[in-house]
Amino acid sequence: MSDLGLLLRKAREQKGYSLDDVQEATKIRKRYLEAIEQGDYKVLPGSFYVRAFVKTYAETVGLDAEEVLRLYHKELPRPATPETVTQEAMIKPRSRSVQHSDRWGKLVVNLVLWMFVVLIVVVIYIYFEKNTGSKAKQSDQDTQITNETATPSVTPSSSPSASVTPPPVESSTPPPATVTLTVTKTSGNTTTYDLSPAGTHELQIVSPNSWVGVKQDSSSGKYLINKTPSDETPIVVQIDGPFYVNIAHAKTATITIDGTPVDDGDVSGSKKFQFNPTDGSSPTP
């Protein structure tokens, strides 16, 4: 067993995690986790995955991943460096010049097309303007002018009706209820909250690249949510009654209930939450 593998295994055992727990939290196969603890990096699919898997493993068991990679960088295989940097540097200026010439060519073609369209519009306008003017002149010549001028009739205008502005209608929609979160117990990395008022609440979790688990009952094995989001798209769940939330990397996650943020302690490892709805009344002494 390597020194790095021994460090990771001790940290995992101190957290009380089994390899199955780490596999569920990180989505890294158990045989890869065993290979990391044994220092047998040839089992892993590539040198890039070694550093990524070690970093994720360290964060899950509560270690400083960057410090672990720095201390044991000599033990880890180095990723392959690109061999065609010089060739890419020579090709890029050429590709840019080609792109510029293509853009200028397209611009010239578009400009010629627009000039052609404008020319057609001008010709049509001149043609209709000329024909309309000649017809108007001929119409004036054919019209007989008389000395009698018809007196225009004046029609009394009706008085405008007064406009009535309806009174503003007050909204009958009640404001949203305020959610109150009260910490009742903290044990290890698990925090228990009283959630008031009781009823259906909207749970929203943003946890990019970090596993999220949501259960209606913490003692059951069935998850309402069991996924690792690839971006910052929020997970939204309408939930009623007690529920349980497990976050693999609480430092990058954000949890809100009906818009009220939940304090996750900003820890780098995993964090668990238990929410117990109450009616908000104070206990009788």
CB 270 within 8 A of CB 242: no
Average pLDDT over residues 222-242: 89
Instruction: Kindly tell me if the per-residue pLDDT of 149 is higher than 60.
Output: no
Instruction: Kindly tell me if the per-residue pLDDT of 122 is higher than 90.
Output: yes
- pLDDT (tens digit per residue) in 39-94: 888 888 877 788 899 899 889 989 998 988 887 777 777 665 544 334 444 444 45
- Strands of the sheet with 200-206, listed across from one edge: 235-240, 200-206, 254-257, 260-261
* Residue partners of 177: CB distance under 8 A and separation at least 6: 197, 258
Structure tokens given for 117? 């369209």
Instruction: Kindly tell me if the per-residue pLDDT of 269 is higher than 50.
Output: yes
- pLDDT (tens digit per residue) in 9-39: 998 999 899 999 999 999 999 999 998 888 8
How far apart (Å, rounded) are the C-alpha atoms in residues 62 and 77? 23
Average pLDDT over residues 136-150: 52
pLDDT of residue 164: 55
pLDDT of residue 184: 94
* Residue partners of 72: CB distance under 8 A and separation at least 6: 3, 4, 7, 54
Instruction: Kindly tell me if the per-residue pLDDT of 121 is higher than 90.
Output: yes
* Residue partners of 44: CB distance under 8 A and separation at least 6: 32, 35, 36, 50, 53
pLDDT of residue 86: 41
pLDDT of residue 31: 92
